[in-house]
Amino acid sequence: MSLSSVIMLELNELCSSLLYKWMADNTLPNFRRLYQSSDVFTTLADAEAPALEPWIQWYSIHTGLPYSSHGVFRLNDGPKRKDADLWTIAHQRGFRTINFSSMNARRYEAPNSVYLADPWCTSESPYPPELKVFYDFVSYSVQEYTNSSKKFGMRQYMELVNFLITHGIRPRTFYSIAKQLAAEKTAVDKPYWKRVAILDMLMVDVFLYYFRKTKPKLATLFLNSTAHLQHSYWLYMEPEAFERSPDRADMACYKEAILFGYRSMDEIVGRVMKAMGKDDIIVMATALSQQPFLKYEASGGQHFFRLIEPERFLALLDLPDCKVQPVMTHQYFVTFRSSAERDAAVERLRGMVMGEDRLFDVAVEGDRGAFFGCQLRKLINGDPCFVVSEGDRVLRFFEWFYQLDVVKSGCHHPEGALWFRTGMHRVHEEKVSILDILPTVLACLGIAQPSTADLPGRRLPLERVAMVAEAKKVRAA
């Protein structure tokens, strides 16, 4: 008796309550099939806010290290560290791996293995290098989809199509793309938000191409689209939980947006189950979940504002040669030519105000870097002005910023779902730590957890894995 491959579906921030609700009425038949053949756990996050963020929690999952030990707090912090993670440990055993967009993970090169950074990563290139055109498109689609001044060029699109044709894209995906673009042109409600499902289709097409090609022992696939829909549209799914009333037209458009996300995830679960062998273990993990976000209800919800052209804006500070990379929602990471230039820019950014409010949240990073983003959260009426440090210049806000269409209405909850498809269905009532995921996945691979005091997680009780381990002991004796 032996175990085959392990694939971890990292379906970011799905909610168990919604899964159970829609599995019960057979809206999610593939999730139900997976659930009925799995050991089912509820996980608890490794840290509280402000560390209750997916790029922190997934790093804890992949390394088995608690936040108090690894200290990874921002996107791009993970690749800077040298902690052994799931893929590193698997490589040490000579296993092939795929890391397809797992958050905040360090790059690797290993024979017949694949690495694709998460879409917010600014430092790690894909492996093999042929994936770059695909990564550039995914990153652009996630980071700049709201910004009409940023365009993916025609040459880039041609290179992308050539890549997809030779790397697993299905005719059904091409059809879905055409259908989506047609709807955006003709439908009254302009359903641009449904593009997230198309991006997931492309991700899964290419992932399964490499899965079939490389036959990895360990593979991870991270998808964030439904988490995005929950953050944006929880108000329309559960309006009774909020003080404000949604617009009637918006309600008609977005009422089933989150359900749309779960149905899209269900199709992906079905595709992955079909592609895996019957002895392969599928791990479905969410790290976190979500709940209604009520903090800014009294002021109409939390709004986000982004710079239209951050490079041109920073030129106002006489810093035209700095490198600007978008990160999350309203935030950017900037690399300056020197620490002196960085410090001067940080001082000016911190000095910008609109009325009584400071315009930017700024954080220094490393020798020459800084994170910054507009920290205004309330709806802005009219076209007010802001002051560029010490009153030396006054600019109109909406000449430099634009408002994102969505208002945040879902926020993080520390509980997550964790299912191991072992062929046996058991629901474990005791809540477990996300730090237990690494030793349990390693056990599924037949790898003993590294013995170090820094890894407090325990192997979860999976009967099938225990049976395999016992069989190996008998054979060895």
> Among 351, 370, 403, which residue terminates a domain?
403
Q: Could you list the beta-strand ranges (E) of 337-409.
A: 353-354, 357-358, 360-365, 369-374, 385-388, 393-396, 401-403
d(CA 473, CA 229): 47
**Residues 6 or more apart in contact with residue 290 via CB below 8 angstroms:** 13, 15, 227, 230, 231, 234, 410, 411, 412, 413
Same domain, 49 and 67: yes
Same domain, 281 and 383: no
Hey, how many other C-beta atoms are within 10 angstroms of the C-beta on 430? 8
13 neighbors 258 (Cβ within 8 angstroms): no
Domain that holds residue 361: 305-403
> Among 348, 383, 403, which residue terminates a domain?
403
* Residue 330: band (very low, low, confident or very high) from pLDDT cuts 50, 70, 90: confident
Lowest mean pLDDT among 61-70, 79-88, 190-199: 190-199
The answer to whether position 1 is within a domain reads no
Same domain, 383 and 421: no
The answer to whether position 39 is within a domain reads yes
**Per-residue pLDDT, 320:** 64
**Residues 6 or more apart in contact with residue 296 via CB below 8 angstroms:** 302, 377, 378, 408
CATH, residue 185: 3.40.720.10
Same domain, 286 and 324: no
Same domain, 74 and 188: yes
d(CA 338, CA 302): 35
**Per-residue pLDDT, 1:** 36
Range 188-211 average pLDDT? 93
Reported as a single tens digit per residue, the pLDDT across 117-174 is: 999 998 899 999 999 999 999 998 888 665 555 677 889 999 999 999 999 999 999 9
**Per-residue pLDDT, 463:** 74
The answer to whether position 300 is within a domain reads no
**Per-residue pLDDT, 145:** 62
**Per-residue pLDDT, 164:** 97
* Residue 187: band (very low, low, confident or very high) from pLDDT cuts 50, 70, 90: confident
d(CA 473, CA 470): 5
* Residue 301: band (very low, low, confident or very high) from pLDDT cuts 50, 70, 90: confident
Strand 410-413 relative to strand 401-403, pairing: unpaired
**Per-residue pLDDT, 61:** 98
> Among 371, 403, 435, which residue terminates a domain?
403
Number of domains in the chain: 2
Same domain, 278 and 310: no
22 neighbors 28 (Cβ within 8 angstroms): yes
Reported as a single tens digit per residue, the pLDDT across 14-73 is: 999 999 999 999 999 999 999 999 999 999 999 999 999 999 999 999 999 999 999 999
Instruction: Map residue 244 onto helix, strand or coil.
Output: coil
The answer to whether position 193 is within a domain reads yes
Same domain, 348 and 458: no
Percent of the chain with pLDDT over 90: 65
d(CA 232, CA 206): 27
d(CA 373, CA 307): 8
- Round the average pLDDT of the chain to a whole number and report it: 90
Nearest to 8 by CA among 448, 438, 429: 438
**Per-residue pLDDT, 383:** 82
The answer to whether position 438 is within a domain reads yes
- Decide which of 323 and 426 is more confident: 426
Q: HEC string of 41-91?
A: EEEECCCCCCCCCHHHHHHHHHHCCCHHHHCCCCCCCHHHCCCCCHHHHHH
Q: Please provide the size of the chain in residues.
A: 477
**Per-residue pLDDT, 468:** 53
- Decide which of 245 and 43 is more confident: 43
Q: pTM for the complete prediction?
A: 0.90
Strand partners, 403: 305
**Residue tagged 């149905």 (tokens):** 263
Same domain, 368 and 433: no
Same domain, 420 and 463: yes
Range 253-275 average pLDDT? 97
* In the predicted structure, residue 2 carries a pLDDT above the cut 60: no
- Decide which of 316 and 459 is more confident: 459
* In the predicted structure, residue 200 carries a pLDDT above the cut 70: yes
